[in-house]
Structure 1
Amino acid sequence: MTKKQKAIIGRLETIALPELAIADIQVRVDTGAKTSSLHVDNIVKFKKNGKIMVRFDLHPDAYNVDEIVSCEAPIHDIRRVKSSNGTSEQRYVISTPVQLGETLWPIEITLTDRSDMSYLMLFGREAIGTKFLVDPSKVFVSS
């Protein structure tokens, strides 16, 4: 691939979040969403070594809700986010590396309750950035 070519990804992809010890999680690619969001439970804000952190649980496998990974990360920001159903909520934002195929780069992720959604993570346009083109007729292109 030359510098000017962008990789094609589909409307569904599998990514890794290595700093959160997640080897693979299915995401819905959504160019309408600015920021990526991740379904988490038990969000707790705390201080560690003078840094404001957040601890949370996530379920990397949507088909096995008994599998829980406990994570912690520095709070990158706190933002008011308007969801697709029009409601607005304040969310913690973390910054963490994401891997899609062979590409690894940092993204921002908001933490929220997505239990009523089909996918545990929404992969927004800021994460897609200038690296990829989305073909909505395809799924799991990078796998």
Structure 2
Amino acid sequence: MGNLSVEKKKGTKQVPHLIVFGFILFLGVFGVTVQADTGPVVTGWVEKVAIPEYNLTLKAKVDSGADSSSLHAVSIHRFTKNNQAWVQFRTQDGIAIQKPVLRIVHIKTKTKGTQAREVVELPICLAGQLTTVPVNLVDRSHFSYPMLIGRSAMAGQFLINPHQQFLTEPECASKDGKAS
């Protein structure tokens, strides 16, 4: 490229190009920041999750390597109610819950076998967002966290920072406007 020269006319003031460029850059960065706030929420790989319906808060591993979500449950018993399959179980805190069975899934185990698990829909609050998630019920007492949030529950809503934990709070407004 050739040399560029700029002539300054007498009696005119020029704003240095660097200042103009800096201002445009500032506006561009500000616009990106506003746009980024409307995207997925970044969570840590471990977060607190609330189950407002039962006034329960627990720690959950947020795991994109798992497709489905799981909840620690013991004393799992299927029964029929109004010609529909239901399940009753207890959480780690001893809370008794009854829910309709959404479906039965067969989960691969570490020993290459499969395990049949009941799946129920559970409204949870994660990172300030209230969402209904299908969770399979299993005794997770041998795991570090009583709940696992899989990628199907996170799709389009959450991104995981694998280097951080507890980046968010499980505070969601309920239908009556009260925070959980």
TM-score (norm 2): 0.70
Find the partner of 2:150 among 110, 124, 143. Answer: 124
CA deviations on 1:31-76 (whole Å, 9 max, x unpaired) are: 10000011111111111233211000111xxxxxxx4111110000
Could you say what the CA RMSD is over the residues aligned between the two structures, in angstroms?
Answer: 1.7
Q: Matches of 2:162 and 2:55 in 1, distance apart? A: 25
Q: Matches of 1:125 and 1:84 in 2, distance apart? A: 19
| Match of residue 164 from structure 2 | 138
| Match of residue 13 from structure 1 | 47
Aligned residues: 135
- Give the match's secondary structure for 1:138: coil
Q: Matches of 1:37 and 1:138 in 2, distance apart? A: 21
CA deviations on 1:74-126 (whole Å, 9 max, x unpaired) are: 00000111135544201100112111132111111000111211111111111
| Match of residue 117 from structure 2 | 91
TM-score (norm 1): 0.86
| Match of residue 88 from structure 2 | 55
Structure with bigger gyration radius: 2
User: What is the deviation of 1:22?
Assistant: 4.0
| Match of residue 63 from structure 1 | none
Question: Highest relative contact order (Cα 8 Å, sep 6+), 1 or 2?
Answer: 1
State the percentage of identical aligned residues.
Answer: 31
- Give the match's secondary structure for 1:118: coil
2:77 is the alignment partner of 1:44? yes
Query: Which structure 1 residue ranges, 5 or more long, are not aligned?
Result: 60-66
Q: Which of the two has greater strand per residue?
A: 1
Query: Which structure 2 residue ranges, 5 or more long, are not aligned?
Result: 1-33, 170-180
2:134 is the alignment partner of 1:108? yes
CA pair 6-90 structure 1, distance change in 2 beyond 3 A: same
